[in-house]
Amino acid sequence: MTYSFRTKMFAASLAAAAAALALATMIVAWELRSQERAVIEQRLRNQTTLIAELLSKSALTAGRLDEEADRLGELLDARVTLIQADGRVVGDSTADDEALEALENHRDRPEVQQARTGGIAVVQRYSTTVDADLLYVARRADHPEVAYVRVALPLTAVAEQVRRVGRDALLAFALAAPVAIGLAWLASALLSRRVKTIAAVARRYREGNLDRPAYDYGSDELGTVARVLDDSVQDLGRRLDEKTRDEARMEAILSGMVEGVLVLDRQGRVRLVNRAAQGMLHVDASAIGHLYLEVIRHPDISVQLTAALRGEEVGARELALGRNAARLFIARAAPVGGPGGAVLVLHDITDLRHADQVRRDFVANVSHELRTPLTAIRGAVEALLDERADPEQTRRFTEIVARHSARMERLVSDLLRLARLDANQEPLDIAPCDLRQLFEAVAADVSATAGAKRQRVTMQVAPDARTIQADPAKLHDVVRNLVENAVNYSPDGSEVALEARRIDGAVEIVVCDSGPGIPPADLRRVFERFYRVDRSRARPGGTGLGLAIVRHLVELHGGHATADNRSGGGATFTVTLPAQPG
Ligand SMILES: Nc1ncnc2c1ncn2[C@@H]1O[C@H](COP(=O)(O)OP(=O)(O)OP(=O)(O)O)[C@@H](O)[C@H]1O
Ligand SMILES: [Mg+2]
């Protein structure tokens, strides 16, 4: 059973008051008893000396001694005993003649024995004659019949006095008790209220509310302790705040990083795994607190972490992660000094490697594309150098040289254009463009080729899509490239349809043909540089750069280009441009 602080305080103060009163009573009683006894003793000493003095001057006969003892006893209000040298009692104020005869010899009484050696003997003992504690004082007397005078008094008066003091003390306690109870109650209430307030503040702190209370703790020891604790809590709160802020900052930095970061503690448990690392290692935040061997499935990484936990410096290692090892990473694990543990940093180099591959492919493609016409030109030139060639052959070889050098020129100029676009060297020159006029200009550009193949170019421009804000020259290049492709890859006598329409604040330019279409797997790739669906089928003279330039130009306008197949056969190229380029 637990008692409240207040009850304990109350009980303690009440107990203290009662104990103090009891102790005071005991001390007073004891003091009183010893004082009273000292007074009685002194009185008996004086009386004994007086009687001895009287006897030495009187000539009382043996027969009158008892009478004298009675008289003195009555006068002094004490028991007076006169004893002969052999111990026989010759006078006693409490015994008549017969009783005197019957009184036993007093020779062995301690006070008589002590008095024999001279001086005054004082003895306190129980007397069976009067059935009480008595104080005896005896001394020698200078009388022929009396050798010792003894005066005695019962100590009942002292006992009575002490009893009275005890009774008074009890009465005082009974009177003082309500006051003491009241005072104790008040004191404990005041103290307990302060303690309760401090406890309430502490409870609030524990619940996380660290606002300093508008409460004055007081200036005594309790107040000082409370204030010191309060200051400590506030200080702790401030540090906790700083730590939380630091952690949040750290968290923000780590989660914003593209590199994956994994931190292990000394025991090899995961302490931190940022968002990027979660994606790379296919774990989630629940991995925190688990051993790395349980959560990391990649043996190479586990080996690195194990070495780092042993404090070894591990070199960076390239590895493939993810389904079908689709992504490439550089992983570097390092030991953490101080608290121990290890940190792993994962750097995704897939795009880097891809870009590298693209660059290498590009160089290979350019070389290949240049070698074909160069080989043809060289063959023709060698043939031309042969003096046996007739004029007809000379003309044919010269034509080959002309065609292939034109193809090379086209290739080089397309490459230069792409390089300029890559380097952002072709700024947009935005102006209102009339799409109908633009379509007609493109149709005029391709009219020779289309006419040779007996193809028809139709055009349809929605009234709300007629004008668009764009770079007219670049848009012309876009549409011309698409229409050239449509004309080139469609069979003779087919139709090429051009359409412009407005959809949700954007303008769509669609070029449809009824050619062979594009295999679905190649739909996305046709916009890549040098990509041609089927090289054997590719148009001689095409470089495979046209659609790459289209995509670049469209994206420069903030739009995008897609390729699709029509359900009835043929390809559809759609260019979506924002009505107002950003
Ligand atoms: N309308 C179309 N129908 C079918 N295939 C097409 C069509 N347009 C493009 N392609 C395919 O996409 C490839 C890439 O086209 P792109 O215009 O980039 O190059 P190209 O036409 O071969 O050469 P050029 O640089 O002279 O345009 C073409 O080789 C062709 O295989
Ligand atoms: Mg083309």
pTM of the model: 0.54
Structural domain spans, the chain: 5-155, 257-345, 353-422, 431-578
Residue nearest atom 20 in ligand 1 by C-alpha distance: 544
**Dist. CA 580 → ligand 2 center (Å):** 28
CATH superfamily of 257-345: PAS domain (3.30.450.20)
Ligand nearest to the CA of 573: 1
CA distance 482 to 515: 13
Residue nearest atom 19 in ligand 1 by C-alpha distance: 544
526, 543, 551, 554: residue to mutate for ligand 1 pocket, most atoms within 8 A of CB: 526
CA distance 135 to 126: 9
What are the strands, taking DSSP E only, across 205-301? 260-264, 270-273
Report every protein residue that has its C-beta within 5 angstroms of ion ligand 2: 485, 546
Torsion of CA 275, 279, 281, 285, to 10 degrees: 50
**Dist. CA 485 → ligand 1 center (Å):** 5
Residue 436 CB coordination number (10 Å): 16
**Dist. CA 38 → ligand 1 center (Å):** 139
**Dist. CA 81 → ligand 1 center (Å):** 157
Of 66, 81, 218, the C-alpha closest to 141 is 81
CA distance 259 to 280: 9
Ligand nearest to the CA of 489: 1
CA distance 155 to 165: 16
Atom nearest to 547 CA in ligand 1: 18
534, 537, 547: residue to mutate for ligand 1 pocket, most atoms within 8 A of CB: 547
Atom nearest to 548 CA in ligand 1: 18
**What is the separation of C-alpha 206 from the centre of its chain, rounded to a whole number of angstroms?**
14
CA distance 55 to 65: 10
**Dist. CA 539 → ligand 1 center (Å):** 8
Does residue 513's CB lie within 6 angstroms of at least one atom of ligand 1? yes
Does residue 546's CB lie within 6 angstroms of at least one atom of ligand 1? yes
> CB-side exposure of 500: number of CA atoms within 13 Å?
23
Residue nearest atom 13 in ligand 1 by C-alpha distance: 532
CA distance 90 to 259: 127
Specify the pairing of strand 317-321 against strand 270-273: unpaired
> CB-side exposure of 368: number of CA atoms within 13 Å?
11
Does residue 570's CB lie within 6 angstroms of at least one atom of ligand 1? no
CB-based contact 215:201 (threshold 8 Å)? yes
Ligand nearest to the CA of 484: 2
CA distance 309 to 307: 5
- pLDDT tens-place values along the chain, 582 residues long: 678 877 888 888 888 878 887 888 888 888 888 888 898 899 999 999 999 888 888 878 878 888 888 898 898 888 899 999 898 888 988 877 777 778 888 888 898 888 888 888 999 988 776 677 889 999 998 888 889 999 998 888 777 877 887 888 788 888 888 888 888 888 888 888 888 888 888 888 888 888 877 778 788 888 888 888 888 888 988 998 999 999 899 889 988 898 999 999 999 999 999 999 998 888 988 999 999 999 988 888 999 999 999 988 888 889 888 777 778 999 999 998 877 899 999 999 999 998 999 889 889 989 988 998 999 999 999 988 887 878 888 999 999 999 999 999 999 999 999 999 999 999 999 999 999 999 999 999 999 999 999 999 999 999 999 999 999 999 999 999 999 999 999 999 999 999 999 998 899 999 999 999 999 999 989 999 888 887 665 556 678 899 999 999 999 999 999 999 998 889 999 999 997 765
Torsions phi, psi of 336, nearest 5?
-100, 120
The string of pLDDT tens digits covering residues 65-98 is 888 888 988 988 888 999 998 988 889 888 777 7
CATH T-level fold of 5-155: Beta-Lactamase (3.30.450)
CA distance 452 to 458: 16
CA distance 306 to 312: 9
Assess whether the region 353-422 and the region 431-578 belong to the same CATH fold: no
Copy the structure tokens of residue 341: 């543990």
Residue nearest atom 10 in ligand 1 by C-alpha distance: 485
489, 494, 496, 543: residue to mutate for ligand 1 pocket, most atoms within 8 A of CB: 489
Give CA angle at 529 (422, 327), nearest 5°: 90
**Dist. CA 357 → ligand 2 center (Å):** 24
Of 77, 39, 55, the C-alpha closest to 139 is 55
Q: Which long-range contacts (CB under 8 A, 24 or more apart) does 404-412 make?
A: 404/372, 404/373, 404/374, 404/376, 404/377, 404/380, 405/373, 405/377, 407/373, 407/541, 407/543, 408/370, 408/373, 408/374, 408/377, 410/541, 410/543, 411/366, 411/369, 411/370, 411/373, 411/543, 411/545
CA distance 474 to 481: 11
CATH T-level fold of 431-578: Heat Shock Protein 90 (3.30.565)
Copy the structure tokens of residue 455: 């193809």
CATH T-level fold of 353-422: Helix Hairpins (1.10.287)
368, 485, 551: residue to mutate for ligand 1 pocket, most atoms within 8 A of CB: 485
Does residue 369's CB lie within 6 angstroms of at least one atom of ligand 1? no
